[in-house]
């Protein structure tokens, strides 16, 4: 039986909280972005697609630095949020969730977009012919048929958020009890004399959580696909 120290437990629970908030925050935007890329033709579509997928290409540290420049307390947007609303993302666990959401967003959008492109648009056209509004068609036909992709994208984003390191440590630092997620705690233990046992425990926890996320994703996606076909 593995026994985690209080600091390790806190890092694990913080990672789960950050990953969950990252998915909940980005899912509506992810569905919207995927729908735009899959169904709408407009000037600048290629640029938007490239911008959405940019975090996959850029070094995570660069993304974290850009977030710090934009949303830090002295940042372009962050200073306004801090002065007017008293909201600050930098050096807080909410900022860690934001950094994780930005890094995981491309994976979510890609999975949902592929699922949208696989939907037979004949069902949507038939519903519109019968007088259904575009909004009703989207929520009663398009969205249910896209559910396997939404589930897959959400779980992939969750798993990616669990492992986020570079953007997080750059944007919110490595503060125990506040922003120290599992990857950051693992980094600290690796660089601490005698920290190897704790590092091994966190590695095991990360592997188990990631495997559980992938298994749950596969199970839910298969169930959703069977319901759609049925």
Alpha-carbon distances, residue 107 vs 10, 56, 121, 156, 229 (angstroms): 27, 8, 24, 7, 25
Q: What domains sit in the chain, N to C, each tagged with a CATH number?
A: 6-229 (1.10.3720.10)
Give the closest residue to 163 by CA, choosing from 30, 5, 4, 18. 18
Place of tokens 């050096």: 91
pLDDT of residue 49: 93
pLDDT of residue 222: 79
pLDDT of residue 183: 94
Q: What is the pTM of this model?
A: 0.89
Helices then strands, counting H and E runs in the chain, come out as 12, 0
pLDDT of residue 74: 85
pLDDT of residue 131: 81
Alpha-carbon distances, residue 82 vs 85, 94, 206 (angstroms): 6, 14, 34
Q: Which helix or strand (DSSP H or E) is residue 25 part of?
A: helix 6-39
CB 201 within 8 A of CB 7: no
Extract the residue ranges of the chain whose pLDDT is less than 70: 1, 228-230
pLDDT of residue 227: 72
């Amino acid at each position: 039986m593995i026994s985690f120290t209080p600091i390790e437990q806190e890092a694990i629970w913080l990672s789960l909280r950050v990953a969950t908030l990252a998915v909940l925050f980005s899912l509506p935007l992810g569905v919207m972005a995927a729908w735009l890329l899959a169904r709408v033709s407009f000037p600048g579509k290629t640029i938007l697609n490239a911008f959405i997928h940019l975090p996959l290409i850029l070094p995570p540290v660069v993304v974290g630095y850009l977030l710090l420049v934009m949303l830090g307390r002295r940042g372009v947007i962050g200073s306004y949020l801090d002065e007017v609303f008293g909201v600050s993302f930098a050096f807080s666990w909410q900022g860690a969730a934001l950094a994780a959401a930005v890094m995981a967003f491309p994976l979510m959008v890609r999975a949902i977009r592929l699922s949208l492109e696989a939907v037979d648009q004949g069902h949507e056209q038939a519903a519109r012919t019968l007088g259904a509004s575009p909004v009703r068609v989207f929520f009663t036909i398009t969205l249910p048929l896209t559910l396997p992709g939404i589930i897959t994208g959400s779980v992939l984003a969750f798993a990616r958020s669990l492992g986020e390191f570079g953007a997080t440590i750059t944007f919110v630092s490595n503060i125990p009890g506040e922003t120290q997620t599992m990857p950051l705690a693992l980094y600290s233990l690796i660089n601490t004399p005698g920290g190897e046992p704790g590092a091994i425990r966190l590695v095991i926890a990360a592997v188990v959580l990631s495997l559980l996320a992938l298994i749950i994703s596969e199970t839910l996606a298969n169930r959703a696909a069977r319901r759609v076909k049925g």
